[in-house]
Amino acid sequence: MENNDQVQLILQSFPLHEEVAQTTIAHLGLRSGFSLKEIENLRSVMEATTKMFLAIRTWEKPLHVNFQISQKKMQVTVTSQTTKSLDSIGDHLGEFETFMLPKVENLVVNSEKSWVVFEVESAS
DSSP letter string, 39-92: HHHHHHHHHHHHHHHHTSTT--S-EEEEEEEETTEEEEEEE---SS-GGGGTHH
Nearest to 50 by CA among 18, 24, 82, 23: 18
* Rg value, the chain, Cα: 14
**Residue 123 to residue 117: CA distance in whole angstroms:** 20
Which CATH number belongs to the domain containing residue 93 in this structure? Answer: 3.30.565.10
Identify the segments of the chain with pLDDT beneath 50: 1
Cβ atoms of 52 and 92 within 8 Å: the answer is yes
Encode pLDDT of 10-23 as tens digits: 988 776 788 999 99
Q: What is the pLDDT of residue 74?
A: 97
Q: What is the pLDDT of residue 95?
A: 85
Q: What is the pTM of this model?
A: 0.88
Q: Is the dihedral angle over the CA atoms 30, 69, 43, 118 positive or is it negative?
A: positive
Q: What is the pLDDT of residue 124?
A: 78
Domain boundaries, position 30? 5-121
Q: What is the pLDDT of residue 53?
A: 80
